[in-house]
Amino acid sequence: MGDLETCALCPRLCRTACPVVAGVGREAAVPTLIAAAVYAVDTQQQPIELAKAALGLCVDCGSCEKYCHIGQPLPALLRSARLRFDCSNPILALPGIDGEAELVAIETDERRWSEYLSLRLGEPVARWCVEDGLGPHLIGTSYWPSRKMTISERLHNRRAVVGDGAAAAVLKESGVSFVWLHDLVPSLTSGIGSCRVGENPYTDGCCGGGGPLRSVHPVDARRMGIRAAACVPGLDVDDSRCATHLEWCGETRTDAITRLIRDSK
């Protein structure tokens, strides 16, 4: 396990890896500076409000950890800090899965797309409605082992279907097998990828829709979304989290879930 002091004293080698720094030019978003802000609060050198603002300058993409030469788990450290500082990251209990089918649609918004997937496949599809995308903000924190165990137990001998990048990240970290909706139904694969889909088309690595950035620094998140949308042609995105964020930025996009519902009517 790493520590925030190590990152706070680092010579900022991960600066070029951060999509927020590249996307909006915010020097404060440099991962080591965020770590330094949190460390300053922990050592009583700075008020907690400044650390909360710094912690919000993140899309939780994990690029800093991937780039780090000493393998510092900074994303997990920052998630833990947000929970410690109560940065509007509620820990929601996971509801039960509705249905006994082998396929389980992980629904993260109001769209009940499991019904349309069942019609398309000609077989039952259970639904798991999880408002927070199964809790990506808990990965690597002290709450994660319990969350991981619950997810594994609920999906035991079942196959999850996802259309949302947050849920995909959680399932991947849980070691649970899943399939993307656009891969399960190939006729829906007409969109571009995302950082979670694995075929990221954006110049700066992220549209700005992940992590706490949008809720804490909406102006920066919108700038990233508009810039990302300008990088790629077309209206379709395979990751619903990405598509939803681009829509919020005023950029018209549809995702695989929208295409499934539209084509099933």
Task: Using DSSP, state whether 104 is helix, strand or coil.
Answer: strand
Q: Are 70 and 108 within one domain?
A: no
> Are 201 and 232 contacting, i.e. CB atoms less than 8 angstroms apart?
yes
Q: Are 77 and 103 within one domain?
A: no
Q: Are 231 and 126 within one domain?
A: yes
Q: Which of 23, 57, 84 corresponds to the end of one domain?
A: 84
3-state DSSP percent of the chain in helix, strand and coil, to 5: 50, 10, 45
Q: Are 97 and 123 within one domain?
A: yes
41-84 pLDDT, tens digit per residue, is 988 888 899 899 999 999 998 889 988 888 899 999 999 999 99
Q: Are 115 and 80 within one domain?
A: no
Residue 186: CB partners within 8 Å, gap ≥ 6? none
Domain extent at residue 28? 4-84
33-44 pLDDT, tens digit per residue, is 999 999 999 888
Q: Are 163 and 264 within one domain?
A: yes
Burial bucket for residue 172 (CB in 10 Å: 0-12, 13-18, 19+):
middle
pLDDT at 102 over 80: yes
Q: Are 139 and 169 within one domain?
A: yes
Q: Are 182 and 64 within one domain?
A: no
The number of domains in the chain is 2
Q: Kindly indicate the confidence band of residue 1, based on its pLDDT and cuts at 50, 70 and 90.
A: very low
241-260 pLDDT, tens digit per residue, is 999 999 999 998 899 999 99
Q: Which of 84, 119, 136 corresponds to the end of one domain?
A: 84
pLDDT at 147 over 70: yes
Q: Are 132 and 225 within one domain?
A: yes
Q: Are 174 and 196 within one domain?
A: yes
Q: Are 133 and 211 within one domain?
A: yes
173-227 pLDDT, tens digit per residue, is 999 999 999 999 988 877 777 877 776 766 667 899 999 999 999 999 999 999 8
pLDDT at 113 over 50: yes
Q: Which of 84, 105, 125 corresponds to the end of one domain?
A: 84
Q: Are 153 and 250 within one domain?
A: yes
